[in-house]
Chain A
Amino acid sequence: MSAWFSQHRAAFVRALRRLVGSPLNTVLSLLAIGIALTLPGAGFVLLENLRDLGRSVSGAPQISVFMALDASRKESAAIEARLRQSVGAAWRFVPREDALKRLQAREGMAEIVASLPRNPLPDAFIVEPQGASPEELESLRRSFAEWPRVAHVQLDSAWIRRFDAFLRLGRLAVTLLAAVFAAGLVAVTFNTIRLQVLSQAAEIEVARLIGATDAFIRRPFQYFGALQGLLGGLLAYGLVAAGLGLLAAPAGELASLYGGAFVLRGPGLAAAAALAASGAFLGWLGAQLSVSLSLRRFG
């Protein structure tokens, strides 16, 4: 255990020295890695903000269940009983008389309603399923439509489905972008490590001659790759946070013009940890591939 710890400590210190020892190369590599991680990182955070925005604008989704015009109150009561039994959601009954009164109360509608020979509005139920996905809402809509004496069912927040589909598409696009940039990050680290291995060929040869295993030789390069990736990830976090910080005030102002109170959220600690961890992993992977290939060539 002590030998294991000593070897890892020595490898970590050597990797740190290499990072500090060539500041210009380190800064350039960190910038490349940071920018590569910033774009997908910012994409994910923006999509999260859009999702929150969608939720706040739509509120709870509603399903309006309209009875047939000639449905009796007894038939409406039967639907009420079904709702009580089968739907785990809030709902309320809107009698046709109340609906007419509300219509009358609207500006400019009183005279029109008064001129009608009879009440054209049916009894209705407003159902508010909590936390239901767009698919579940659609399933409920279809189910209500099959109930007796129900004339029409309207999913009031159908646009949520379109918005959700848009978000899914955005998430997929950002994931693809992240994959491309991840490959780029691996390539940057691969090349950096390849050059390091070439410049330290003499040291590697000596180390092998005096009993170093390949694992021992690989270790400082792996630490270097992981450290570089980790710092690049933290730089990406800083860039995303700074960028969203700059956008927060104009976005809030825009939302207030539409009567909303939207606040653009920056990346949290979880995002910082995710960026740092993915940077470290990808850096380690690039280093591992590069040094393994180089050692095989050294024979």
Chain B
Amino acid sequence: MIAASGLTKRYPGGFEALRDVSFEVSVGEMVFITGHSGAGKSTLVKLVAAIERPTSGSLVVNGQNLAALRKSALPYLRRHFGLVFQDQKLLFDRSVLENVLLPLEIVGLPRREAVRRAQAALDKVGLLAREKARPIALSGGEQQRLAIARAVVNRPTVLLADEPTGNLDAASALEVLEIFESFHQVGVTVVVATHDPQWIERYRPHVLCLDHGRLAA
């Protein structure tokens, strides 16, 4: 599913966020990327999501080497991912339902079918009753659940989350991780970057621990 070999990412200016990172993630696995702030967790998520390109090394996701992928092919690759960010990246001028409809509009699903699937995704995260609300009217936990609904509505093969619980209280964070766990239970590969070690004991995932850009033993 995901195979990294000798992965290095150096930003302009010379800062090396990742150095010689190698790992493999199997289909249906739940993976936590951990490490202190600045360890390279977000960079690794961005590389897997094809938001950034590696400086060297290879990264194969769904059988495609991201380092060699043409720019025009990126949008089609990203449709296989569900992305959840710490800052959610919601559209505040659209309703909750319209936020979830966006990925389905992108793939051109007919409106009626798209609405049905978006409502199902909202139901899954417990937000169906708020479908007409604007995201600004939701709590932090609800906004993160809305971001998850948007990420999963297209039935992705990989769910990628960068610090999804970073801005949430403990109860909301638990709700969010329970949702990730439920997707893991039905076979979705889940990759979560988090600096909070308490969740590792609870879910016992495959852990990739980063330390100053290197994979720790």
Complex interface: stretch among B14-22, B72-80, B168-176, B201-209: B72-80
Given contacts A202-B89, A206-B89, contact A6 B109 (CB under 8 A): yes
Query: Cβ of B109 and Cβ of A212 under 8 Å apart?
Result: no
Query: Cβ of B106 and Cβ of A211 under 8 Å apart?
Result: yes
Query: Cβ of B89 and Cβ of A3 under 8 Å apart?
Result: no
Q: Check if A81 is an interface residue, CB within 8 A of chain B.
A: no
**Roughly how many angstroms separate A234 CA and B76 CA in the complex, as a whole number?**
40
Q: Which of A187-208 contact B (CB under 8 A)?
A: 202-203, 205-208
Q: Check if B96 is an interface residue, CB within 8 A of chain A.
A: no
Given contacts A202-B89, A209-B89, contact A6 B106 (CB under 8 A): no
What residues of B have a CB within 8 angstroms of the CB of A209 in the complex?
49, 51, 78, 83, 89
Query: Cβ of B107 and Cβ of A211 under 8 Å apart?
Result: yes
Specify the chain B residue showing the minimal Cβ separation from A206: B89
Q: Which of A56-107 contact B (CB under 8 A)?
A: none
What residues of A have a CB within 8 angstroms of the CB of B107 in the complex?
3, 211
Per-residue contact bits, chain A 17-29, to B (CB 8 Å; 1 contact, 0 not): 0000000000000
**Roughly how many angstroms separate A10 CA and B72 CA in the complex, as a whole number?**
22
Q: Which of A1-33 contact B (CB under 8 A)?
A: 2-4, 6-7, 9-10
Checking A203, A213, A216 against B91 with a beta-carbon cut-off of 8 angstroms, the contacting residue is A203
Q: Check if B150 is an interface residue, CB within 8 A of chain A.
A: yes
Give the number of chain B interface residues (Cβ < 8 Å).
27
Specify the chain A residue showing the minimal Cβ separation from B89: A206
Q: Check if B103 is an interface residue, CB within 8 A of chain A.
A: yes
Specify the chain A residue showing the minimal Cβ separation from B71: A214
Q: Check if B102 is an interface residue, CB within 8 A of chain A.
A: yes
**Roughly how many angstroms separate A2 CA and B112 CA in the complex, as a whole number?**
12
Query: Cβ of B108 and Cβ of A4 under 8 Å apart?
Result: yes
Q: Check if B105 is an interface residue, CB within 8 A of chain A.
A: yes
Q: Check if A210 is an interface residue, CB within 8 A of chain B.
A: yes
Specify the chain B residue showing the minimal Cβ separation from A14: B105
Checking A3, A4, A10, A211 against B76 with a beta-carbon cut-off of 8 angstroms, the contacting residue is A211
Q: Check if B110 is an interface residue, CB within 8 A of chain A.
A: yes
Given contacts A206-B91, A209-B89, A210-B150, contact A6 B111 (CB under 8 A): yes
What residues of A have a CB within 8 angstroms of the CB of B49 in the complex?
209
What residues of A have a CB within 8 angstroms of the CB of B103 in the complex?
210-211
Taking each of A203, A208, A210, which has the highest tally of chain B beta carbons within 10 Å of its own beta carbon? Answer: A210
**Roughly how many angstroms separate A9 CA and B105 CA in the complex, as a whole number?**
10
What residues of B have a CB within 8 angstroms of the CB of A203 in the complex?
91, 93
What residues of B have a CB within 8 angstroms of the CB of A4 in the complex?
108
CB of B96, distance to nearest CB on chain A (Å): 15
Given contacts A2-B110, A6-B111, A206-B89, contact A211 B78 (CB under 8 A): yes
Specify the chain B residue showing the minimal Cβ separation from A9: B111
A210-B151, A211-B103 are known; give 14 further A-B pairs, CB within 8 A.
Answer: A2-B110, A3-B107, A3-B108, A6-B114, A7-B105, A202-B91, A206-B102, A207-B106, A210-B79, A210-B102, A210-B103, A210-B154, A212-B75, A216-B75
Q: Residues on A close to B: CB < 8 A?
A: 2-4, 6-7, 9-10, 202-203, 205-213, 216
Q: Residues on B close to A: CB < 8 A?
A: 49, 51, 72, 75-79, 81, 83, 89-91, 93, 102-103, 105-111, 114, 150-151, 154
